[in-house]
Structure 1
Amino acid sequence: MPISQGLTAKQVQQRIDTGRQNEPAPSLTRSIKAIFRDNLLTWFNLINLVLGALVLITGSYKNELFLGVAIVNTAIGIFQEIRSKRQIDKMSLLSESTYEVKRASGTVELHQDAIVQDDLLVMHRGDQLPVDGLILETKGIEVDESQITGEATPIAKTTGDSVVSGSFLVSGQAVVRATHVGAKSFINTMSGEVQSGESTNSQLLNTINRIIKILTVVIVPLGTVLFISRLLNHSSINQAILGTTAAMIGMIPEGLVLLTSVSLAVSAMNLARHRVLVRELPAIEGLARVDVLGLDKTGTITSGKLQLSKIVPWHQQSLDQVKLIIGGTINAIGDDNETARALNSALTNPEWQPTKVVPFSSARKWSGVSVQQGNYVIGAPEFVLKRVPANLAKQIEGYAAEGYRVLCIAQTTEMNADNLGNVTVLGLILIEDEIRENAVETFRYFQNQDVALKVISGDNPTTVANIASRAGIKNWAQLIDMSSLEGDIDYDQLVAKYTVFGRVTPTQKKQLVKAWQRAGHSVAMTGDGVNDILALRQADCGIAMASGSEAAKSIADFVLVDSNFDAMLNVLNEGRRVVNNIERVASLFLIKTMYSVALSIIFIFMRNGYPFQPIQLTPISVLTVGIPTFVLALEPNYQRISGQFMKQVMVIAAPAAICVVAYILVIDLVGGVQFNLNYTETSTLSVLLTGAVCLVALLMVARPLNRLKLALVLLMAGCFALIFIFFGKLFSLEGIFNWQMAVFYLPLLASIYPFFYLVQEVVGKRILARINWR
């Protein structure tokens, strides 16, 4: 395609100096400033600061230690997110597409932020426009502006027409002059940021955020009422402040949101090392929940590399004559897809001059050209011909069964997108696909993980089924030709019955994904071309290859930088590890929240002081929750996700909280009355029994036990015991080597495990089994 003269280096610099340069692609990560702001300015941090100021009034400075836990949690969150940001930003740069720009010095490859006004961009099928422009040269293109207009119908454009940033080429190629760049481009002057799809939804974060919202409503009013009740029951103002502070600190699930966010951020960083770019952190969780994986054949099962295998003359044509026509047609059309490249590299170009071009379209599945020699089309026989003759159909089916992609070259009496007139087949073109290396092992792993594999392709279903068979995909023989269906299609029945879907149009791909979703499945979709965009957008999780079109990458949740689908094994495992481990350890955070809320309500109506001081909660928080959860969150855990977050959490958290409340009431009512224990002694025993219950819960959360996890539990129990032996005064604890106290607390300690087990049997298996927690 002839291209006009481009800008000189001096002209480029003039435009840069005057601010007429394009902007870089939006960052996938938050800025450093935003990371600090969002981690520091939280509701719970504000509560902690207010409580810290109140404790400062009492003069009990050691009770400010709880602020240290909050500071460490915040610092860890900031550090890990910045660390992940740097890795992801580095990977984003590698995955960004470059644009072919004609300059006076020659054609160069540039990132979008290096494009200036009046640059000449050579746009190909699948490219997304980074600037507004004017088409200078084209043989005919179709543009999808759905990301701007919401309409997915391609719009035909020709020389002299305008194109806007954010749209992408569905077919053909063109030379476009940049007319508006940067802030002046259409996509940047819109009132809101253009979104390619809905943000990825996280069930895990949504559930945790619901808990946080409830606590936000409860914590301040409940703390206020507790404080007033302490004063009315003749507690000193210092005692009332310390007791209320301890209660409110206990209600805050310190680290739960942090642990979830950090775990996802660390996973994104780990995946970046495996050459997988995560566009949204919740997508890691989303893929972990997937149970149906839609595979695009080209670029996923196959490498995308095509080669011409054979040309079969038809209609009494000679082989040399058919080769000449194919070479002339494909070069005159000017397509640059893999099929066109395979034919161009194998056939001679007779330099035919086109008078009209109909570029390739995924919906039409053919491309055509009018030249002096006649009208010719290349495409799928089923779409080129209204009705395929029986003898030709039989031969096509035979080649397809051997694994070939079968195209035809035909002469027509008309050359319109919706009318070819009379069509005469001149020959068949046999193209071979190359199966990706390690494809068989990758697909076997997914199938062993209860992920159903479905192949959705625009090619002949028999060809696709043959390739699926070679790739080891189960039920590959259950195939259907989607082009044979007419009228209202029952997609729900199709997805329940078939595994391989051939001759699928982009709209049909989207409808298949929706049908699986209606059936209750979580669907991931792979793709690399513009024909995959609708399905990628509809799927719960979209996966694009970096070698694919910019349009596909712009809406995908994951971009495989090396275009290697094997890397998805790491994503699946990372997602399952994060979700399973967070579900497992979240109960440890919520135990403290639940018993703190319950005790706050109970002690509003009691004369005795709240059983804890702020500093006494520190060893419980750090040794039974903080340290263990960060260790357990790193454990490998690749089981399929249950999807019952709250139920799994409550099976341990509810019984543990009930046990804590029960023991504290026994200590307060029996120990204080029958054994004449003072407040310091009862609060010491409350810490001891609460910590012991939480250690039992930790033991249950850590199951199945191995040496590492058993050592972790024993180490935490040992450190907890050392607190009482050597650091009692620091944490306002009485010595426990007192026979009067021992007579009381030793039987209680001995009863913890059987009592916990009994409560769990009643609450966990009878009550919670009847509730569908989601």
Structure 2
Amino acid sequence: MQELTGLTSAEVQVRVHQGLKNTEPKPLTKSTGRIIAENVFTLFNLINVVLAVMVFTTGSYKNMLFLLIATVNTLIGIFQELRSKRQIDKMALLSHSPITVIRNGKAESIAPAEIVEGDTLKITLGDQLPVDGKIIATQELEVDESQITGEADPITKAVGDSVTSGSFVVSGNAYVQVTKVGDATFVNSLTAKIKPTKQNNSRLLRLINRIIRILTIIIVPLGAILLASRFFHGVGYNQAILGTVAAMMGMIPEGLVLLSSVTLAVSAYNLARQHVLVRDLASIETLARVDTICLDKTGTITTGKLQFKELQLATNNYSTTEVSAILGSLVNGIADTNETAQTLQQHFTEHPYVVSYVVPFSSARKWSGAELGDAGSFALGAPQFVLDLTPAQREQVATFAKAGNRVLALVQADHMTTTELQGTRLLAFILITDVIRPDAESTLEYLRNQGVTVKVISGDDPTTVAQIARATNIPGWNQLVDMSQVPDDADYRELTKQSTIFGRVKPDQKEQLIKALQANGHTVAMTGDGVNDILALRQSNCGIAMASGNESTKSIADFVLMNSNFSALINVLKEGRRVINNIDSIASLYLIKTMFSVMLSIIFLFLAKDYPFEPIQLTPINSLMVGIPSFLLALAPAFHPIKDRFVAGITGISLPSALTVVINILVINGIGALLHWNQLQLSTLSVLITGFVCWQALILVSRPLNPYKSTVVLSSIVLFLLTFIFLRHFFGFASIFSWPLGAVGLVLILLINPLFLGLQRLVDRVTPVVQTWHHQLQHRFARSK
């Protein structure tokens, strides 16, 4: 093949200045500035700053401690997201394969983003074209355009032919002159047409954000009214400010937002260390909720590699050893570079015959051949293209194919040219199979045990795909359909209910299959690596791309498996379930404080009393009973299927606990009035009882207990009680060992559980009634419209 000089360095610079340079791949992560801004400039941080300024005017500077805690929380969030970003960006660099370009008459390796229009690329086996171009010199080039068209057959390219971005070289090599770069390439122009319509499927984050929106409407006006009421009832300025700030702080579940974002960022970091890129944190939850996953055969269940299985001798004129020698001489002499030829070259290493004339493999003729000295002419290819098959041979080939084999025929020919074979006689059938990933069966078994249904969608023959599914124990492997025979107006919803294996699937059919599964009520994950998978990936609830796939496919997917290792999905599923299950249960801890703070704020609007807490007194509860334990519990293993306990936690734990706190504080104020307790004693006992109520809730959300969880739970209450002993002056507590304060506190602590259980039963009875009223009101409102 002729050598070319390509562009000069000066010509490259001119094209760069003209904007004719290829584009950088879209980043998989947020920018550092955006991460910092999103963590710093939040509504809750703004409220914290305003409250801190209010406390500053009282001169009680230690009550501004909450501002320091909020700052630390913000820094933790920034640190975890930046750590995750660094790991993901480092892995992303590994996913961009370099390309060989000819410049100044020399070959050099550059990143795809450095290609300019007019460059000369040198492409060979395994290369993927990142741009569009035109062949200017070639040696038996064949490309796989299945990424674009969905058709698996290689296409031969000659000088003057166009090649498009996304194509893979499967045989031969060539020089390509770049004609389109950046947004003008076929792949990028296709991607640009796809609107980012996929909604955030994170139910948990949506619910948390809805709660925050509601609280945003409540916090500011309620706080303002509470402050005004304090002054109206004659409460002093300092106590009015400190009480109002404590109430508003209690209403803010800022730790819940931080818990969600940080634990998801930690999961993204952990997955990046396991060679899985996460493009969107919310997608971790989405994949954890997936109940159906659609797989391609090649690259997921199989490695994409081939292996020699068997040589079936079909002649008495040659022995198996002689046929092996002929086959070895043939494949090594022709020296084709396609996957099938390389597989046979590795197995048949003996090649005693001298090759004198070669006809290389072509996808058009479906065979390759050579003259082996005095032994004669031999050819290797698809049976129906090298041989007039007898009925018995045709049945034999069909039997081999149904068993999941690729079948080749080795024939001897009387006459051979580049266009035809004459007088062929069968020597042997060669059986080749796909290499199944060693971990495929265990991965599929894990998914099955976790309640995830597997569907296989492939462009290959459905019979071959079914045999691979059978070998990996996929349930329903014999429920197959040939999509090339399915009419356009077919009922896809019924089709997906009845079938597991879908073969000969066209690109537009992939999207329809995903839609049908979703219409049947499933949450669907889709794996893909080609441009033809983009619409299906976008339609799915969760798109998973292989690192070996096209860059545009990876940019649109939610996850990128850097090692193209399907078993990595186990880690993703586990991480998602761990985070969501833990947040699902732990979230109720944060809402206890929010609920009792709202209730107490409304009650104390009408009471000429100081609010029961000062800001600093809430710190032991916020940190030791809720914040620190929740973060530690969020890291605990919880890999069982998601149970969606968030709402159940609100009605089953948060609301009864908040009511328990409110009732106890009213009782404490009543007892305090009888015993003439001062505000210090009232607030001390209020904090103590509230802490124990939260501790009981902590035990409930930690079930089932194990050594790790038990250590977290016991440590939290010990540290909480120690603050009353060693740090009571700092936090503004009275001694809990004084009479009768300690005795009343002990009695109230013992009554917490009976009171909670009674309130829990009451809430359980009232909730259905309230829900019925709510539905009736919604129905009447809808009818009135």
Match of 2:59 in 1: 59
**CA shift digits 1:300-342 (9 cap, x unpaired):** 111111257689999xxxxx9xx99xx99xx99x9x9756876
Match of 1:284 in 2: 284
Q: How high is the TM-score relative to the length of structure 2?
A: 0.80
**CA shift digits 1:17-60 (9 cap, x unpaired):** 89865453222122222222221111111110111011000011
Q: Residue 253 of structure 1: CA displacement?
A: 0.8
**CA shift digits 1:545-597 (9 cap, x unpaired):** 22233343232222222222222211111111111111121111111111111
Match of 1:264 in 2: 264
* Contact residue 188 and residue 552 of structure 2 kept, 8 A: no
**CA shift digits 1:210-239 (9 cap, x unpaired):** 111111221111111111111111112222
Match of 1:697 in 2: 697
**CA shift digits 1:707-744 (9 cap, x unpaired):** 22222222211121122222222112222223233443
* Contact residue 294 and residue 524 of structure 1 kept, 8 A: yes
Q: Residue 3 of structure 1: CA displacement?
A: 7.3
Q: Residue 202 of structure 1: CA displacement?
A: 2.0
**CA shift digits 1:451-474 (9 cap, x unpaired):** 112222222222222211211222
* Contact residue 39 and residue 74 of structure 1 kept, 8 A: yes
Match of 1:593 in 2: 594
* Contact residue 147 and residue 529 of structure 2 kept, 8 A: no
Q: Residue 14 of structure 1: CA displacement?
A: 6.8
Q: Residue 390 of structure 1: CA displacement?
A: 8.7
1:407 and 1:205 mapped to 2: Cα distance?
Answer: 54
Aligned residue runs from structure 1 range 459-538, under 5 A: 459-538=460-539
2:663 and 2:382 mapped to 1: Cα distance?
Answer: 76
Match of 2:561 in 1: 560
Cα separation, partners in 2 of 1:308 and 1:55, compared to 1, 3 Å:
same
Cα separation, partners in 2 of 1:616 and 1:259, compared to 1, 3 Å:
same
* Contact residue 148 and residue 532 of structure 2 kept, 8 A: no
Aligned residue runs from structure 1 range 720-759, under 5 A: 720-759=720-759
2:649 and 2:433 mapped to 1: Cα distance?
Answer: 50
* Contact residue 191 and residue 552 of structure 2 kept, 8 A: no
* Contact residue 22 and residue 182 of structure 1 kept, 8 A: yes
| Most deviating of 526-535 and 590-599 | 526-535
2:128 and 2:206 mapped to 1: Cα distance?
Answer: 33
Cα separation, partners in 2 of 1:337 and 1:247, compared to 1, 3 Å:
farther
* Contact residue 143 and residue 157 of structure 1 kept, 8 A: no
Secondary structure, in 3 states, of the residue corresponding to 1:58?
A: coil
Q: Residue 620 of structure 1: CA displacement?
A: 0.6
2:627 and 2:600 mapped to 1: Cα distance?
Answer: 22
* Contact residue 137 and residue 175 of structure 1 kept, 8 A: yes
**CA shift digits 1:509-550 (9 cap, x unpaired):** 222222221111111122333444433232222222222333
Match of 2:93 in 1: 93
Match of 1:677 in 2: 677
* Contact residue 198 and residue 539 of structure 2 kept, 8 A: no
Match of 2:658 in 1: 657
* Contact residue 594 and residue 654 of structure 1 kept, 8 A: yes
Match of 1:49 in 2: 49
**CA shift digits 1:591-610 (9 cap, x unpaired):** 11111112112222222122
Aligned residue runs from structure 1 range 339-738, under 5 A: 394-405=395-406, 431-668=432-669, 670-738=670-738
1:492 and 1:349 mapped to 2: Cα distance?
Answer: 58
Secondary structure, in 3 states, of the residue corresponding to 1:729?
A: helix
1:349 and 1:39 mapped to 2: Cα distance?
Answer: 71
| Most deviating of 177-186 and 713-722 | 177-186
Q: Residue 663 of structure 1: CA displacement?
A: 1.4
**Letter in structure 2 aligned against 1:675:** L
Consecutive unaligned residues in structure 1, runs of 5 or more: 148-155, 315-319, 360-365, 370-377, 410-425
Q: Residue 640 of structure 1: CA displacement?
A: 0.5
Cα separation, partners in 2 of 1:448 and 1:678, compared to 1, 3 Å:
same
Q: Residue 621 of structure 1: CA displacement?
A: 0.1
Cα separation, partners in 2 of 1:736 and 1:440, compared to 1, 3 Å:
same
* Contact residue 306 and residue 434 of structure 1 kept, 8 A: yes
2:340 and 2:765 mapped to 1: Cα distance?
Answer: 60
* Contact residue 302 and residue 433 of structure 1 kept, 8 A: yes
Please tell me whether Structure 1 or Structure 2 has the larger radius of gyration of its CA atoms: 2
* Contact residue 543 and residue 558 of structure 1 kept, 8 A: yes
Aligned residue runs from structure 1 range 237-256, under 5 A: 237-256=237-256
1:199 and 1:451 mapped to 2: Cα distance?
Answer: 22
Cα separation, partners in 2 of 1:435 and 1:497, compared to 1, 3 Å:
same
**Letter in structure 2 aligned against 1:74:** T
Secondary structure, in 3 states, of the residue corresponding to 2:730?
A: coil
Secondary structure, in 3 states, of the residue corresponding to 2:254?
A: coil
Q: Residue 671 of structure 1: CA displacement?
A: 2.0
Count of residues paired in the alignment: 720
Match of 1:761 in 2: 761
Q: How high is the TM-score relative to the length of structure 1?
A: 0.81
Cα separation, partners in 2 of 1:190 and 1:708, compared to 1, 3 Å:
closer
2:252 and 2:17 mapped to 1: Cα distance?
Answer: 53
Cα separation, partners in 2 of 1:190 and 1:405, compared to 1, 3 Å:
closer
The percent of aligned pairs where both chains have the same amino acid is 50
| Most deviating of 521-530 and 285-294 | 521-530
**Letter in structure 2 aligned against 1:40:** V
| Most deviating of 87-96 and 672-681 | 672-681
| Most deviating of 8-17 and 219-228 | 8-17
1:50 and 1:727 mapped to 2: Cα distance?
Answer: 27
**Letter in structure 1 aligned against 2:235:** S
Q: Residue 96 of structure 1: CA displacement?
A: 1.8
Q: Residue 344 of structure 1: CA displacement?
A: 9.8
| Most deviating of 284-293 and 493-502 | 493-502
